[in-house]
């Protein structure tokens, strides 16, 4: 298996991450990348594909299904869990931290495997970063709505303009060493509790 | 300042001693704080221990033995200084298989001999070409697999020819049964109760009925970590033994149910936990089978990682072709269980 291009299977129920990884592997010169999204019957599909390398989310419970296929079943050429092969402990640790698990056909040279695992690590990390950024953006949007609502309450209750209401929120937060969003939430909560029904909104 | 240990667990009732040690002061009394980290697969537990991302973990008793025998290749050596109890597993089958078994003489006693014989007659009565039945287990190197293999072969069935034993992750067992992908499974609680109370399965037999007092999970540590952190290893052993004794006490049952049901623990409805903790298992949505010792956390030596248990698992592994024979392999297998550390911790 010196020059033959490697056959890689990606088992991932998340279509976006699978696509990101697939794209990266192809850019790295891996010609055959199979994505398996539906994990029912994953064993049969893998037996047919006979991949050299299988990449799967470390957190995917279906890993235990692969373990059986690769460890106990004698029907396929068995990739084995990429393990703390003392020679490259740092790569394995980076993989575990990134949430990447790789199974590799026994005897495959480490220098052929490393680029694939490295690519999986970087794409998994990139995906996690994207998801984090998306979560943060969503949170920011939600926070902005809360602050706007608190501002509206202050404007009505105290007859302030928008800029004054915001300045009051900010100075209160500074005095109490709290975040603006926390003060805004307190105002809304207080208005919900104290105000007549429906008045807080 | 307590020493923080990162401890992995799988959502199962037999993780109770770890959860109780963390939350009821048993760890703190030993100068430890347990950072419990729920995991979704046994392979992930093994890999996180291997790379030092977990210091200790809830583990299937045959897994340290498999690691000692080079499965998977390159796996670091693990040791078990304390066991996490006896039993806790049961065999649940689909409504359809259960009806067929009842026609062949199965009873709601959970009796392994009678129900195994009924299962064998169901297999014989199946039309030619209908393929083997599937009874799922949770991991290749698992007590569940060896219990089923023992039960099936005892009933005259040939595993893998008459009955396949695929691996299905516990949270998917009930769904797989409902969808007809498998005909039954052997799994730890609360997953039998979840399937049976949900109306997707019927109780065929229990581990207590099959094995008497059968070893099941252990606390696993990396051998080199345990050597470098011996005081922590002994302290953790003491904390777990104290917690296991607490778990056995009937007066603590409702508090144990609440601790296990919590969203950061098993995250399941309390009614799925009560049967096994009360020495019962559900027969269907309303009726219960009295199942003494359905799970034992501490009594009768349940926390001792005995060499006899290691030997039993090793014998099963060689019997079913999962592990090599020979004096050297046997010695490596037995060396993972550490009754000496257990005795020192408690001495």
Nearest CA in chain B to A84: B74
SS3 assignment, position A42: helix
Contact state of A61 with B171 under an 8 Å Cβ cutoff: yes
For chain A positions 30-69, those within 8 Å of chain B (CB to CB) are: 40, 43, 58-68
CB proximity A84 to B under 8 Å: yes
Measured distance CA(B158)–CA(B164) in Å, rounded? 9
Six-digit token pair at B4?
């923080």
Measured distance CA(B36)–CA(B7) in Å, rounded? 5
SS3 assignment, position B83: strand
- Answer yes or no: are the C-beta atoms of B216 and B88 closer than 8 Å: yes
What parts of chain A have a pLDDT lower than 70? 1-3, 72-78, 84-87, 196-201
Facing B181 at nearest CB: one of A40, A93, A96: A40
pLDDT given at position A85: 59
Q: What is the ipTM of this complex?
A: 0.86
- A86 CB neighbours in chain B (<8 A) are 74
Q: Which of A69, A73, A83 to probe the B interface (max B CBs under 10 A)? A: A83
**Cβ within 8 Å of residue A44, ≥6 positions away:** none
CATH of B89-211, one of 2.60.40.1180, 3.40.190.10, 3.30.2320.50, 3.20.20.70: 3.40.190.10
Task: Give counts: helices (H), strands (E), chain B.
Answer: 16, 14
Q: Provide the CATH topology of domain B3-87+215-281+292-346.
A: D-Maltodextrin-Binding Protein; domain 2 (3.40.190)
pLDDT given at position B74: 84
Determine the distance in angstroms separating the CA of B172 from the nearest CA of chain A, rounded to an integer.
9
Six-digit token pair at B227?
């050597």
Cis status, amide bond into B72, omega within 30 of 0: yes
Measured distance CA(A31)–CA(B43) in Å, rounded? 29
pLDDT given at position B234: 98
Query: How does DSSP assign A105-173, residue by residue?
Result: ETT--HHHHHHHHHHHHHHHHHHHHHHHHHHHHHHHHHHHHHHHHHHHHHHHHHT--HHHHHHHHHHHH
b (16+ CB within 10 A) / e for B325-344:
eeeebbebbbbbbbbebbee
Determine the distance in angstroms separating the CA of A194 from the nearest CA of chain B, rounded to an integer.
33
Contact state of B42 with A62 under an 8 Å Cβ cutoff: no
Q: Which of B8, B46, B51 to probe the A interface (max A CBs under 10 A)? A: B51
Alpha-carbon distances, residue B45 vs B22, B59, B84, B277, B327 (angstroms): 18, 8, 16, 25, 29
What's the length of chain B? 347
pLDDT given at position A200: 46
Measured distance CA(B345)–CA(B347) in Å, rounded? 6
Contact state of B166 with A43 under an 8 Å Cβ cutoff: yes
> Which residues partner with B82 through β-bridges?
B219
What's the length of chain A? 201
Element (H, E) at B220: strand B217-222
Ramachandran angles phi, psi of B241, nearest 5°: -65, -45
Nearest CA in chain B to A58: B44
pLDDT given at position A76: 52
CB proximity A13 to B under 8 Å: no
Measured distance CA(A10)–CA(B234) in Å, rounded? 42
Contact state of A68 with B140 under an 8 Å Cβ cutoff: yes
Contact state of B43 with A81 under an 8 Å Cβ cutoff: yes
Contact state of A58 with B44 under an 8 Å Cβ cutoff: yes
* Number of C-beta neighbours around residue B83 at 10 A: 29
Contact state of A72 with B168 under an 8 Å Cβ cutoff: no
pLDDT given at position A43: 79
Domains of chain A: 7-132 (3.40.50), 136-194 (1.10.10.10)
Q: Which residues of B touch A (CB under 8 A)?
A: 40-44, 47-48, 50-53, 71-76, 138-141, 166-172, 181, 322
Q: Where are the domains of chain B?
A: 3-87+215-281+292-346, 89-211
Determine the distance in angstroms separating the CA of B48 from the nearest CA of chain A, rounded to an integer.
7
What parts of chain B have a pLDDT lower than 50? none
pLDDT given at position A39: 78
């Amino acid at each position: 298996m010196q020059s033959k291009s490697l056959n890689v299977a990606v088992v991932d129920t998340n279509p976006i991450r699978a696509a990101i990884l697939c794209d990266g592997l192809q850019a790295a010169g891996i010609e055959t990348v199979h994505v398996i999204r539906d994990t029912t019957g994953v064993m049969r599909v893998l037996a047919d594909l006979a991949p050299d390398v299988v990449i799967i989310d470390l957190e995917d419970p279906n890993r235990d299904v692969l373990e059986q296929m690769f460890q106990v079943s004698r029907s396929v050429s068995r990739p084995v869990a990429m393990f703390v092969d003392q020679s490259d402990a740092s790569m394995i640790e980076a993989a575990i931290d990134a949430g990447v698990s790789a199974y590799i056909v026994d005897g495959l040279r480490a220098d052929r495997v490393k680029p694939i695992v490295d690519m999986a690590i970087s794409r998994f990390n990139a995906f996690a970063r994207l998801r984090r950024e998306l979560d943060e953006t969503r949170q920011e949007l939600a926070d902005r709505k809360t602050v706007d609502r608190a501002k509206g309450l202050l404007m009505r209750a105290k007859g302030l303009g928008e800029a004054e209401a915001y300045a009051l929120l900010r100075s209160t937060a500074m005095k109490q060493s709290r975040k603006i969003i926390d003060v805004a939430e307190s105002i809304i909560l207080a208005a919900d509790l104290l105000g007549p029904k429906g008045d807080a909104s | 300042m307590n020493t923080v240990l990162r401890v992995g667990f799988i959502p199962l009732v037999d993780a109770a001693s770890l959860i109780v040690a963390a939350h009821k002061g048993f760890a703190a009394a030993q100068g430890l704080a347990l950072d419990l980290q729920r995991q979704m697969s046994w392979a992930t537990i093994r890999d996180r221990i291997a790379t030092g991302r977990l210091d200790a973990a809830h583990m299937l008793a045959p897994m340290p033995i498999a690691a000692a025998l080079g499965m998977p290749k390159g796996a670091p050596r693990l040791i078990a200084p304390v066991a996490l109890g006896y039993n806790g597993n049961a065999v649940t089958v689909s409504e359809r298989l259960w009806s067929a078994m009842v026609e062949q003489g199965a009873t709601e006693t959970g009796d392994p001999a009678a129900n195994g014989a009924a299962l064998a007659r169901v297999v014989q009565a199946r039309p030619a070409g209908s393929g083997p039945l599937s009874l799922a287990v949770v991991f290749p190197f698992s007590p569940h697999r060896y219990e089923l293999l023992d039960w099936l072969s005892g009933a005259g069935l040939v595993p893998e020819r008459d009955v396949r034993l695929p691996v299905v992750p516990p949270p998917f067992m009930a769904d797989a049964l409902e969808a007809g992908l498998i005909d039954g499974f052997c799994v730890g609680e609360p997953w039998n109760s979840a399937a049976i109370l949900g109306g997707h399965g019927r109780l065929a037999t229990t581990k207590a009925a099959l094995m008497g007092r059968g070893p099941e999970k252990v606390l696993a540590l990396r051998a080199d970590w345990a050597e470098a952190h011996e005081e922590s290893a002994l302290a953790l052993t003491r904390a777990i033994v104290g917690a296991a004794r607490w778990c056995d006490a009937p007066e603590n049952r409702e508090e144990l149910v609440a601790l296990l049901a919590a969203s950061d623990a098993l995250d399941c409805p309390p009614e799925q936990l009560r049967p096994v903790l009360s020495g019962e298992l559900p027969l269907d949505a309303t009726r219960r089978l009295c199942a003494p010792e359905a799970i034992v956390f501490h009594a009768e030596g349940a926390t001792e990682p005995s060499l006899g248990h290691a030997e039993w698992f090793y014998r099963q592994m060689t019997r079913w072709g999962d592990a090599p024979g020979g004096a050297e392999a046997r010695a490596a297998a037995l060396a993972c269980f550490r009754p000496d550390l257990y005795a020192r911790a408690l001495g």
